[in-house]
Amino acid sequence: MSRTQTLRARAPRMLGGLAALIPLLFVGALFLAPLGALLKRAFDDADAISPIEAWRRTEALTLLGVTVGQAAASAVLAVLVAAPIVWLVATVDFPGALMLRVVVTLPFVLPTVVVGVAFRALGTGLLDGWGVESGLGAILLAHVFLNVAVVVRVVSAVWQQIDPQAIEAARSLGASPLRAFADVVLVRLAPAVAAAAALVFLFCSTSFGVIVILGDGRLRTLETEIYQQGVGYFRIPEAVALSFLQILLVVGALVLARFLGRRGAPSTSDRGVRLRRPRGLGWLPVIAVLIWTTAVLVVPIASLVVRSLRPGGRWSAAGYRLLLENDSGTSVAGSLWYSVTSALVAMVIGVVVGLLAALAVTRFGGTVLARSGAALAILPLGVSAVTLGFGFVVLTTYLPRQIGTSPLLIPAVQALIAIPVVIGLLVPALGEVPQRRREAAAVLGAGPVRVFWTVDMPVIGRSLGAAAGFAFVMAIGEFGATTFLARPNTTTLPVLIGTLMGRPGADSLAAAMAASVLLVAVSAVVVFFVELAAPRAARQVAGGR
C-alpha cells in the first residue's frame, strides 16, 4: 500500500479523534477549569473552613429546602398549565400552528431577567393588587411561563409517536374514548411527563434572574446566596461550599431526567398519531386552548410592551428615547450591539464545537475519547450559570490579565451553555443520514470532509440552521455567568437590564422596560425563523436547555 493510500485509510480515524478531542479540550478548559479554581481558592483561603461549617454559617439546609420547594412547585404547575397546550400541539392541525409553536417557544429562550421584568410589569399593571409583582407567587408564575415549552416539546414529541392502532384496539374491545385515552395514551406519556417535570425542576433550581428581580431580596435560594456570598461578601469558602451543594442537586435532577426520558422511549412507534383538522364543534376546545395559551404566555409579554409605553402611568416613548443615551459610559444601544455581536461569535463557536461532538458520538460513539467528549459537553446543562461565572472570576486571578479581559471570554462562556442544545439537535439529525451513502461516496474516492459536505449536509442542513438559531438566542439572553464577567465595554443587554432594575427612579425603570421589549423582539424574530426552517425532528429535540 502506497503512502498516499495509507494516509487516506487513516484519515477518517484521525478526523474522528480530532472531532472528539476539540470538544473535550474546549469544554474541559471552560468548564472543569473554573470549578477546579473554585476548589483551589477555597482551600487556599486564609479563612478556609470545612464545607459542613460553611453550610452551617449560610443556613444551607434552609436554602436547599427553599430551592427544592420552589423548583418542585414550579415543575408541578408547569405540567398542569402545559397539559391543554400539549394536547393541541400533538393532535390538532390548524391554521396558525406555526405561530403557536413560536408563542410556546419564545418564553423559554427569553433572558430570565426579561421575564422578571415582564412579571413586575404585569403585577403593577393589569394584575395590580394580586401579588404578582414580587414574592413566591410571582416567582412560580414566572417559572411556569419560562418552562411551559419544555413540557410541550418533550411530551408532545412522545404523544405524536404513539401508534394509533393501539388506541383503535382498545376501542374495539369496548373501551370508552376516555378509558382508551387513560389506558393507552396516558400510560405511554407518564415517563415523558416525569422527564419533562424533572427538566423543569432542574432549570428552576438554578434560576437566578427571575428570583433576583421578583424575590426583592427576601426569598433566598442556593443560586442567589452563591452570588451574595461570593460577590457581595467575598466569602469564598462559603460560596464554594454552596456551589458544590447545588452541583449535587442539579446533577441528580439531570440524571433523573435522562433516566425517565429513556424509560419513555420503548412505548412509542414510528407510525405516529395523525394530526386532525377541527370541524364544527371541534373548534370549541381548540379555541379554548388558544385563549388559555394567550392568557398564560402572551399576556405577560403584552403587559411588558404596554408598561414600556406607559412607564409613569401616561403614554410616553421616553423609555425608548433613553435607549440612545449614555449612562456611565454605557448606552443601551451599545449594549445591544455588543450582545448581538458576542451572540453571533458564541453561535459560531457553539455550532462548530457541538457539531464536532455530535459527529464524534454518531461516527465514533464506541471510543473512550468520543464518549468522554460527549459526556463532558452535556455537563454544563447541569451546573448553575452563577457557579460557572463565579468560577471564572476566581480562575482569572490565576491567569494572565490578557485572558481575563479577552473579548472572546464572554462569547466562549455563552457558547459553552448553548453547546448541549446544539448536540441534542444534531445527534438525531446525523442519525438519519444513510450509512450506505457515506460508504458509497468513500468508495468513489471522496475524503471524509467531502463525504460530510455532499452526503451529511443535505440531510442535516435544516437541523444545523435550527441549532444555530437556538445557540444565538441562548447566547444573547445569557444572564447568570455574564453578570460576573461583564465590564463597562462588554456589558450585555440582559446585564444592563438587571442593573437598571436595581436603580431607583422612573427613568431607569422605563429604560429597563424598553430594553426588555427590544430583547423580546429580537428573540421572537429568531425563534420564528427557527420554527419555520426546523424539521419535525429538530422541533421535538429542542425541548432541553
Render pLDDT for 305-318 as a digit per residue (tens, 0 to 9). 888 887 766 777 87
In sequence order, what DSSP letters do the residues of 127-143 get, joined into one string?
TTTTT-SSSHHHHHHHH
**More confident site: 538 or 119:** 119
Residue 188, pLDDT above cutoff 50: yes
* Residues 518-524, mean pLDDT to the nearest whole number: 88
User: With bands split at pLDDT 50, 70 and 90, how would you rate the model's confidence at 75?
Assistant: very high
User: With bands split at pLDDT 50, 70 and 90, how would you rate the model's confidence at 129?
Assistant: low
Low-confidence winner among 46-50, 164-168, 341-345, 392-396 (lowest mean pLDDT): 46-50
Instruction: Give pLDDT, residue 360.
Output: 79
Domains and CATH numbers, the chain: 10-47+318-545 (1.10.3720.10), 49-305 (1.10.3720.10)
User: With bands split at pLDDT 50, 70 and 90, how would you rate the model's confidence at 108?
Assistant: confident
Instruction: Give pLDDT, residue 88.
Output: 92
Render pLDDT for 464-512 as a digit per residue (tens, 0 to 9). 888 888 889 888 888 878 888 877 777 888 888 888 877 777 777 788 8
Q: What is the mean pLDDT of the chain?
A: 79
Pairing of strands 330-331, 326-327: antiparallel
Instruction: Give pLDDT, residue 125.
Output: 67
217: which DSSP letter?
T
Contact 373, 23 (CB under 8 A): yes
Measure the CA–CA gap between 501 and 487, rounded to whole angstroms: 18
**More confident site: 436 or 262:** 436
**Predicted model pTM:** 0.80
Render pLDDT for 270-317 as a digit per residue (tens, 0 to 9). 455 567 888 888 889 999 999 999 999 999 999 888 888 877 667 778
> How many C-beta atoms surround the C-beta of residue 23 within 10 A?
28
408: which DSSP letter?
T
Low-confidence winner among 99-103, 158-162, 199-203 (lowest mean pLDDT): 158-162
Instruction: Give pLDDT, residue 543.
Output: 40
Using CB atoms within 10 Å of the CB of residue 529, give its burial: 0 to 12 exposed, 13 to 18 middle, 19+ buried.
Answer: middle
* Residues 421-425, mean pLDDT to the nearest whole number: 82
* Residues 134-140, mean pLDDT to the nearest whole number: 86
Instruction: Give pLDDT, residue 369.
Output: 58
Residue 545, pLDDT above cutoff 50: no
Instruction: Give pLDDT, residue 9.
Output: 47
Please give the grid coordinates belonging to residue 451: 463525504
Residue 116, pLDDT above cutoff 90: no
User: With bands split at pLDDT 50, 70 and 90, how would you rate the model's confidence at 182?
Assistant: confident
Please give the grid coordinates belonging to residue 498: 438587571
